[in-house]
Amino acid sequence: MRGRFVEFLLLVLARLPRQVSQFLGRLVGYVSYLFRTRAYQVTVANLLLCFPELSAADRQKLVNKSLQSTGQTLMETPAAWLAGNPVLEKWIAGTVSSELLDEAIDAGKGTIVLLPHLGNWELFNAYFATRGKMTALYQPPRKPHQQKIMQRVRSRFGNELVATNVKGVARLYRVLENGGVVTILPDQVPASGLYVPFFGNAALTDQLISRLVLKTGARVVAACVVRLDGGQFDIRFSLVDEGIYSTDLEQSVRAINTTVENCVKEYPAQYQWEYKRFKVRPSGEKRIYRFGKPDVFH
């Protein structure tokens, strides 16, 4: 029953005009900012770490814009999952530097698309369906009914969705070895990995992308789904830090974070700063998301 209700709610929200969804999303974000919610506190903490040079006034402006952007992503996502291609095609204004993706695919060695949590990354699924088929890695939600919903709606464009487990990772290797396209969100906190800098702070970062590149010889491009002033989106591709192709695993993982940083610096207000990117820190470092509680160290 719970799963059916969630699906019904998603269907209702998916039918809203884009402008209405985005207005509601900005409202959700502003309320979060106004009432100093947990999302607000996490955003402030992350920006203090990543942009310490900002004045208090500029930081608050960025916090407000970021929360409103994330609110829009939240309200747009039901349509990104459930609306038909004719609807979503009107959401996408165009592409920038798509030749980078073409060149990577034409090389025939497999292609990895790095898709940071910026803008509305969920739309990349609908965009790529117009080009072919991709395989995307995702982290399953904890509740079974949510997992079923996510698999069903995210795979409806014909793209393949694999979970972050042994079976899913093995599938990624096979896709790349056959010259296919794999899309990975590179800025999630993994169960294990290496501590490498992200905006000058040690961030636990997954080694999977680097291992995939090393074993398969796949080419890598970065992609961002950027929300424009008018509410439509551009799919913008960019070069990755060449260190990703290093045989030195740590250097390769460092380059992944550098690539994400470069994307974020272009559109800092559209990055998902309320994500607890630094919830796992090196031994001896202070936990940063314990608002109003006594200090605890890792």
Distance CA 15, CA 25 (A): 15
Q: 133 and 158 in contact (C-beta within 8 Å)?
A: yes
| 239-250 b/e (C-beta count within 10 Å ≥ 16 → b) | ebbebbbbeeee
Determine the pLDDT at residue 4: 75
Q: Give per-residue pLDDT as tens, 207-219.
A: 999 999 999 999 9
Does the pLDDT of residue 147 top 80, yes or no?
no
Q: Give per-residue pLDDT as tens, 108-137.
A: 999 999 999 999 999 999 999 888 899 998
CB atoms within 10 A of CB 202: 15
Which DSSP helix (H) or strand (E) runs through 48?
Answer: helix 38-50
Q: Give per-residue pLDDT as tens, 245-264.
A: 999 999 999 999 999 999 99
Determine the pLDDT at residue 274: 97
DSSP secondary structure letters along 137-154: EE---SSHHHHHHHHHHH
Q: What is the dihedral of CA 210, 211, 212, 214, to 10 degrees?
A: 90
What's the whole-model pTM score?
Answer: 0.94
Distance CA 83, CA 80 (A): 6
Q: How many residues does the chain have?
A: 298
